[in-house]
Amino acid sequence: MGGALRFLTVLPVPGRHRPPGATELLAFPLVGAVVGGVWVAVLAADGLLPVPALAALVLVADALLTGGLHLDAIADVADGVASRRRGDAASAVMRDPNVGAGGALALVLVCLVRWSALLGFGGLARGGEALALLVAPVTGRLAMVLLLALLSSRPDGSLAAALARPRGGVVAGAAAIAAFVCVMAGRGGLAAGSLAALGAGAAVAPAWAVWWRRRFGDLSGDGVGAGGLVAETVALLVLSGVAARP
C-alpha cells in the first residue's frame, strides 16, 4: 500500500520513493478509496458552504492530493492529439513541458464536466450516501492497472515503463478489491448504481487501449494517467445520474 500511496499521491509516506512493483498495483484501488475519502470529507461541509463551492473544493483537494499528475496527463494527451501527429512524433509533443491550446482547453472542459457531476452529491452527504463517491477514484485507479496489463509500455524512459506489467492474478485481485470497495461504499441505496459506475468506468480501459495503440503505439505514463482520469470521470457521471434520481 505504501508504494502505491507514494506513487499516486503527495502524501509523505515513509519508505524509498520508487515505482510500485507488480504486486503493489493491487493497492491502486485502495489508494482510490483514500482519495475518495477526501472528496467525501469535503462534501461533509454541506450546509456551511453552497454545493457549487464544495464541488469546486473537491476538485481542488483532489489536485492537491494527487499533485495534479493525472490532469497534467490529460493536458499532454490533448496536445498530442491536437498536433495531428502519430507515434513517436506525437509522443515528443506530449513530453514537451509547455501546455498548448489543446491541453488548456481539455483541462477546462474535463474540470467543468467533473464539477457539474459533483453537484448532484451535495444533498447526499448528510445521509451518508456520499460515500458512493469513493467509486469514481477507485474505478480510475483500477483502469490504470487494466491499461498496464493491456498494452506494452514505451521503452524510452516513459513513466509507464517503470511500472511492472501486471499479470492476470494481480488484475483479478485489483478488480475484486475495487468491486468490494464499491459495494461497501454504495450501501444505503446506491449499491447497484455503484457497480454500474464501476463497470462503465472499467470499460473505458479496453476502449482507451485500442484507441491509444492505433494513435500513439505503446503506452506512456501520460496514457495511463489520462486513461485513468477519463475512467474516473465516466464513473462519476454515472454516479451523478444515479444520485439525481428521486
Backbone angles phi, psi at 19, to 5 degrees: -60, 145
Confidence of residue 160 (pLDDT cuts 50, 70, 90): low
> Tens digit of pLDDT for each residue in 55-86?
999 999 999 999 998 999 999 999 999 988 88
pLDDT at residue number 131: 83
Q: What percent of the chain has pLDDT over 70?
A: 90
Name the band, by pLDDT with cuts 50, 70 and 90, for residue 135. very high
149 or 16: which carries more pLDDT confidence?
A: 149
Distance, CA of 96 to CA of 180 (rounded, Å) = 39
CA–CA distance, 37 with 51 (Å, rounded to integer): 17
Over range 21-25, report the average pLDDT.
81
pLDDT score of 138 more than 60: yes
Q: What is the distance between the alpha carbons of residues 40 and 3, in angstroms, rounded to a whole number?
A: 24
Tell whether the model's pLDDT for residue 194 goes beyond 90: no
In the chain, the amino acid numbered 156 is D
N residues, the chain: 246
List the chain domain ranges: 2-11+25-244
Grid coordinates 520508487 are at which residue? 18
